[in-house]
Amino acid sequence: MNAPTQHTIPAEIGTPFAGGFYAGKLNCDGAVYALIVSPKAAGETEMSWGEYGQDIPGARSCFNGSANTQAMAEAGSALAKWALELNINSHADWYLPSRDELEMLYRAFKPTSEENFCSFRDGDNASSIPAGYLYTEQEPAQTAASAFQDGGAEAFADVWYWSSTQYSPHDAWGQDFDDGYQGHCHRHGELRARAVRRILLSN
């Protein structure tokens, strides 16, 4: 396992940090990481998730997007290969966020002031630090990071984004950045994707 890296973690979500922007802390297999979202211009794309009907057992994690992305790439996913081939600001360890990591991005960088969709489990996130709880119509609110607000240079579009977490051989988890709804989408559909990386803080 990699040794923890000494970093001064930004106090504010959305602060430029480690090749991208600080998005919060997460727990992955008992280790604590800082999650960094990529700059939009270099780290966002739109394409299908992978082959419809192909089971990828290594891409089922709700918290380990790095492992999911590796498994997807080995299975032939062009989306995963795109993420793994990124080199942004001298960092080449980007990957597709897991279901829980993608939820962290919505909670941190919700672009609009629209009411949230509040279904059975939207917002439930045991991997984020602190743990994420179910959305209300008002929480999370629009991000305070101005560059990520609707119309800003780094803003997420108010559309669906892929996670790297397989739901079934036919679907994968995604999240709507208009209202936060978390659901599964057919893999052959083209959705947005935003790369992330992480830094080990403690294990």
36 in any annotated domain: yes
Decide if 87 is inside a domain: yes
Domain that holds residue 194: 16-202
Within-domain flag for 11: no
pLDDT in tens, 10-46: 999 999 999 999 999 999 999 999 999 999 999 999 9
| pLDDT, tens digit, 9 for 90 and up, residues 115-152 | 999 887 899 999 999 999 999 999 999 999 999 999 99
**8 within domain boundaries:** no
Helices (H), 17-158: 40-43, 65-74, 78-84, 99-109
In-domain check, residue 9: no
Q: Would 1 be classed as within a structural domain?
A: no
Calpha distance 27→23 (Å, rounded) = 13
Mean pLDDT of the chain: 95
Non-local (6+) Cβ contacts of 132 within 8 A are 100, 103, 104, 107, 123, 124, 125, 126
Angle at 79 between CA 78 and CA 83, to 5 degrees: 115
- Confidence at 1, pLDDT banded by 50, 70, 90: very low
In a domain, 149, yes or no: yes
Helix (H, G, I), strand (E, B) or coil at 150: coil
**Cα–Cα distance, 172 to 73 (Å, whole number):** 15
Domain count, the chain: 1
Rounded CA gap, 193 and 195, in Å? 7
Confidence of residue 7 (pLDDT cuts 50, 70, 90): confident
- State how far the Cα of 75 lies from the Cα of 59, in Å rounded to an integer: 10
DSSP state of 90: T
Instruction: Evaluate whether residue 49 is within a structural domain.
Output: yes
Reduced to 3 states (helix: H, G, I; strand: E, B; else coil), residue 3 is: coil
Q: Are 181 and 161 in contact (CB under 8 A)?
A: no
